[in-house]
Amino acid sequence: MTAAIGFEDWQALTQLYADYAHVVDAGLWEQWPEFFTDDCIYRVQPRENFERGFPLATLSFESKGMLKDRAYGIRETLFHDPYYQRHVVGLPRLLRADEGRFEVEANYAVFRTKLSQITTVYNVGRSLDVVVRTAEGLRFARREFIYDSEMIPNSMIYPL
Amino acid sequence: MNAPIPLAELTAGSMNWERGTSRIPFAVYNDPALHKLELQRFFYEKHWCYVGLEAEIPNPGDYKRTEIGERSVILVRALDGVIHVVENACAHRGVAFCRARHGNVQAFVCPYHQWNYALDGRLRGVPMRHGVKREGVVQGGMPADFNFADHGLTRLKVAVRGGVVFASFDHDVESFEDFVGPDVLRYFDRLFDGRKLTILGYNRQRIPGNWKLMQENIKDPYHPGLLHTWFVTFGLWRADNRAQMVMDRHHRHAAMISTRGNAGAVSEVSRVSSFKQTMNLHDPRFLDIVPEAWWNGPTAVMTTLFPSVILQQQVNSVSTRQIVPDGHGHFDFVWTHFGFEDDTPEMTQRRLRQANLFGPAGFVSADDGEVIEFSQQTFDAKPAHRTLVELGGDEVANTDHMVTETLIRGMYRYWREVMAR
Ligand code: FES
Ligand SMILES: [Fe+2]
């Protein structure tokens, strides 16, 4: 690991990861797209496809607009059993740091709790991210969740 | 093993069919003994089950591990290029020796005692077959009459059509073409017309419901325009679209054929509560639909091949969806998205983008798994009750509209015929 950044950048980066987890765990779907740049890539992909070079992802978005469409879908069009999700995210592992651009990997586990039911491990894996500095602060230009939990317990409604 | 069990005996007291098959007893979904019989009658005899696409095993030695019913099988291309399907169960003491999900090998070797099999399943090597010599005396070894030909892996009958591979444990099964029947085969051939396929990737989901509920879901043209807001709002699937419901002569397979109509227009069908007159996409590329010559008209054809697979064409998104039961109350649903070798990079991108509509997270299919789960909850709680599938009456017949549950009634007519044998 050769990448090195200053304390302020490190602090902003870890805050970004913590804030992101807060928003998707609190169900603040309107705020979720705001973590991304306009032409962002957001993907949730089974590890098998990633490792074998298959392009298919379970969710595959190519713009902030698509994230907004997903947020609308969760609220208005997708029928689903309500559930809580809870992210536990490991410390970001910095792969590369350039001026205003960071390549980062982070392990994560997401627990799912359906109303009146036992909490279960829902999805685990790592995210492969590109974070860029913008006028509004750090934003994700790319977020790819590569998940080990290839057998999805029925459905995936909320974004990781 | 196959002594017929009278349906009445199997289901004493709890299974009460009314009005043909238009009222389905909840008991068909939640009886472990019935489930075992279904596995035998539908998955292990007289039927062809989906195992994969030729494009998944392009080279000699390539294999893919998958399931038929609840049995593990291996789809493999032998060194001479011929496709075989063998059961993943060592002929010695039963070890399911193949653990990787895919790979490339010269032979299958069971780890336990190193029995060695050719890729077509023939037994090639047995360690210590002739015993072990100590101080000039041979000790042990297999009996003199041990015959390799009697102890290969279980070999399945294989059918390949249009790049799709089906297999059957039953070597007396009718031909794949007769099994599907000409009326549904037309739609199979429309999708798999001989062009080489390219694999785009997999999605897997485990649905806590009886496996037949997924067949029903794709034989149910009533729900898409209601449950799936996207479908009705963008006109992809609406009750007033031009449509046809086509079954094979046994009513076990079906094709639901639909042609996209009025997106957004107000009509009788758009007065349903899920219709969103004001819904606009921030990014319209989700629905960047480009008609393809091979469609020959219909924008969506959903084909159910009983019992094991669903073939999807929804505009530019094409996939196979394999049903792998696990007990009466669960099944795994394995999606293989593909394209065609002559696709432009733009078409590949479009298929991948439209894949956001389907799969375990799809805008118009994540909710199918949800409603199946909630159906099963009721079946388990209330086994003496029944469902009602009477849209369009109680007869079983092809229709030229989608306001009907006739395909589900047809499937259970077939189910009863086979289960009561
Ligand atoms: S169980 Fe396979 S070699 Fe003995
Ligand atoms: Fe559906």
**Residue A159 within any structural domain of the chain:** no
For residues B363 and A59, give the distance between their C-alpha atoms in angstroms, rounded to a whole number: 10
Q: Which domain holds residue A13?
A: 7-147
Amino acid at B95: V
Q: What is the mean pLDDT of residues A10-26?
A: 97
Q: Which residues of B touch A156 (CB under 8 A)?
A: 360-361, 366
Best of A66, A74, A154 to disrupt the B interface (most B CBs within 10 Å) is: A154
**Residue A153 within any structural domain of the chain:** no
In chain B, the domains with their CATH numbers are: 49-159 (2.102.10.10), 182-419 (3.90.380.10)
Q: Tell whether the model's pLDDT for residue A133 goes beyond 50.
A: yes
Residues of chain B with pLDDT below 50 are 1-2, 4, 12-13
pLDDT in tens, B372-384: 999 999 998 888 8
CA of B97 to the centre of ligand 1 (A): 8
CA of B223 to the centre of ligand 2 (A): 6
The ligand placed nearest to the CA atom of residue B372 is 2
Name which of B224, B222, B206, B208 is nearest B365 in CA terms: B224
The ligand placed nearest to the CA atom of residue B125 is 1
Q: Which residues of B touch A77 (CB under 8 A)?
A: 228-230, 233, 274, 276, 279, 363
Residue A85 host element (H or E): strand A83-89
Ligand 1 site, residue B159, Cβ cutoff 6 A:
no
Burial class (CB in 10 A: 0-12, 13-18, 19+), B145: exposed
The ligand placed nearest to the CA atom of residue B300 is 2
**Residue A107 within any structural domain of the chain:** yes
Amino acid at B329: G
**Residue A67 within any structural domain of the chain:** yes
**Residue A101 within any structural domain of the chain:** yes
Q: What is the pLDDT of residue B64?
A: 98
Residues composing chain B: 421
The dihedral over CA atoms of A119, A125, A130, A133, expressed in degrees to the nearest 10, equals: 30
For residues B58 and B60, give the distance between their C-alpha atoms in angstroms, rounded to a whole number: 7
Considering only the beta carbons, identify the residue of A52, A77, A156 that sits closest to B361. A156
B63 in reach of chain A (CB within 8 A): no
CA distance B201 to chain A (A): 5
CA of B112 to the centre of ligand 1 (A): 5
Residues composing chain A: 160
The ligand placed nearest to the CA atom of residue B226 is 2
Ligand 1 site, residue B110, Cβ cutoff 6 A:
yes
**Residue A155 within any structural domain of the chain:** no
Q: Which atom of ligand 1 is nearest to the CA of B113?
A: 3
CA distance A51 to chain B (A): 11
Best of A118, A152, A158, A160 to disrupt the B interface (most B CBs within 10 Å) is: A152
pLDDT in tens, A41-85: 999 999 999 999 999 999 999 999 999 999 999 998 899 999 999
Helix (H, G, I), strand (E, B) or coil at A100: coil
Q: Which residues of B touch A78 (CB under 8 A)?
A: 229, 363, 366-367
Ligand 1 site, residue B95, Cβ cutoff 6 A:
yes
CA distance B133 to chain A (A): 47
Q: Which atom of ligand 1 is nearest to the CA of B94?
A: 1
B271 in reach of chain A (CB within 8 A): no
Best of B102, B338, B356 to disrupt the A interface (most A CBs within 10 Å) is: B356
CA distance A73 to chain B (A): 7
Ligand 1 site, residue B128, Cβ cutoff 6 A:
no
**Residue A156 within any structural domain of the chain:** no
Burial class (CB in 10 A: 0-12, 13-18, 19+), A75: exposed
Q: What is the pLDDT of residue B225?
A: 87
For residues A143 and B113, give the distance between their C-alpha atoms in angstroms, rounded to a whole number: 47
Total domains, chain A: 1
**Residue A154 within any structural domain of the chain:** no
Considering only the beta carbons, identify the residue of B205, B274, B282 that sits closest to A65. B282
Q: What is the CATH number of the domain that holds A137?
A: 3.10.450.50
Confidence band, pLDDT 50/70/90 cuts, at residue A1? very low
CA distance A62 to chain B (A): 9
CA of B125 to the centre of ligand 1 (A): 11
3-state secondary structure chain B: CCCCCCHHHHCCCCCCCECCCCECEHHHHCCHHHHHHHHHHHHHCCCCEEEEEHHHCCCCCEEEEEEECCEEEEEEECCCCCEEEEECCCCCCCCCCCCCCEEECCCEECCCCCCEECCCCCEEECCCCCCEEECCEEECCCCCCCCHHHCCCCECEEEEECCEEEEECCCCCCCHHHHHCHHHHHHHHHHCCCCCEEEEEEEEEEECCCCHHHHHHCCCCCCHHHHCHHHHHCCCCCCCCEEEEEECCCCCCEEEEEECCCCCCCCCHHHCCCCCCCCCCCCHHHHCCCCCHHHCCCCEEEEEECCCEEEEEECCEEEEEEEEECCCCCEEEEEEEEEECCCCHHHHHHHHHHHHHCCCCCCCCHHHHHHHHHHHHHHHHCCCCECCCCCCCCCCCCECCCCCCHHHHHHHHHHHHHHCC
Backbone CA torsion sign across B269, B275, B277, B280: negative
> Residue of the nearest CA to atom 1 in ligand 1?
B93
Q: What is the pLDDT of residue B2?
A: 46
Note the maximum CA span of chain B: 93
Has the ipTM of the complex gone over 0.90?
A: yes
**pTM strictly above 0.90:** yes
Q: What is the pLDDT of residue B1?
A: 40
